């Protein structure tokens, strides 16, 4: 199978389906999990396949009808759906015009193929493309252009030579005595960096946090030794022991009696 990441119908998307050919589609339906997948989500998978393939159900299964599909370059395949075999004609959708370009398929063509498609756009050059098409192209390719007199285009040390040496494909569009050069190069796929954690932090337990807090408190207390003793007042030693009011009244009475003795 040409689609390395596509191993089953369940992993099929409108992006990776462009990696497949007609024979790959047949193989997908022959996977062990095909029965459940097809019975429950048949229409969903067919919609995904249709984004990259022309798919037509063959309702009249006669040799002369099948031959007409084959003359159109379509492959006849049999897809079992709900315990019933159905014949389909299928063909990979070509990318021949700029209007065939999509965000899904732009990452599945080469720079040479892209420039071939642009060249078919009536020879208008980069500025002839609408902004929507440009955005699709720029999502998958680095593009730059220059327009110079024909005799100056390939001047040694110029932009043309620099771009070609850097791996860019070039499309030259003549415009009178001038030439527009469109340079295209596939953008490298963006790699999402994975977060790396310190093993010590991952293995750290709650007890470790407690030990750190105790240690920090101890260090804070050591700093308190530097405080000026004169700054400490009686207020710092105040106690908060509650006394019983009845006990206080008894003590007052005893003191009064003692006074009488004097």
Is the pLDDT at 242 greater than 80? The verdict is: no
State the Cα–Cα distance between residues 105 and 14, nearest whole angstrom: 8
**Which of the residue ranges 28-42, 161-175, 207-221, 235-249 has the most confident prediction, judged by mean pLDDT?**
161-175
- The number of beta carbons lying within 10 Å of the beta carbon of residue 184 is 24
Task: Give tens-digit pLDDT for 100-113.
Answer: 999 999 999 999 99
Work out the pLDDT band at 45, boundaries 50, 70, 90.
confident
pTM here is: 0.63
| Best CA proximity match to 1, nearest among 29, 30, 21 | 21
| Best CA proximity match to 31, nearest among 4, 53, 47, 10 | 10
Query: Any idea where the domains of the chain sit in the sequence?
Result: 9-92, 98-186
Task: Give tens-digit pLDDT for 65-104.
Answer: 999 999 999 998 887 666 677 888 999 999 999 999 999 9
- The per-residue pLDDT for 133 is 96
Work out the pLDDT band at 39, boundaries 50, 70, 90.
low
């Amino acid at each position: 199978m040409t689609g390395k990441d596509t191993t089953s119908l369940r992993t099929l998307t409108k992006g990776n389906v462009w990696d497949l050919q007609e024979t790959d589609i047949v193989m997908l339906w022959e996977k062990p999990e095909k029965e459940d997948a097809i019975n429950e989500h048949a229409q969903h998978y067919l919609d995904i396949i249709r984004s990259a393939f022309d798919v037509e159900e063959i309702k009249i299964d006669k040799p002369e009808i099948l031959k007409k599909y084959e003359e159109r370059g379509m492959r006849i395949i049999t897809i079992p759906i709900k315990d019933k075999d159905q014949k389909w004609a299928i063909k990979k959708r070509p990318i021949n015009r700029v209007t065939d370009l999509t965000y899904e398929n732009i990452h599945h063509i080469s720079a040479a193929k892209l420039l071939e498609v642009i060249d078919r756009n009536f020879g208008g050059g980069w500025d002839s493309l609408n902004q929507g098409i440009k955005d699709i192209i720029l999502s998958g390719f680095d593009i730059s252009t220059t327009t110079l007199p024909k005799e100056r285009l390939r001047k040694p040390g110029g932009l043309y030579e620099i771009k070609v040496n850097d791996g860019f494909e070039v499309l030259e569009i003549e415009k009178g005595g001038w030439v527009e050069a469109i340079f295209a190069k596939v953008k490298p796929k963006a790699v999402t960096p994975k977060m790396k954690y310190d093993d010590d932090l991952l293995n750290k337990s709650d007890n470790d946090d407690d030990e750190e807090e105790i240690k920090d408190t101890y260090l804070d207390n050591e700093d308190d030794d530097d405080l000026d003793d004169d700054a400490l007042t009686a207020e710092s030693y105040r106690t908060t022991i509650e006394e019983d009011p009845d006990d206080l009244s008894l003590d007052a009475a005893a003191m009064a009696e003692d006074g009488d003795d004097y």
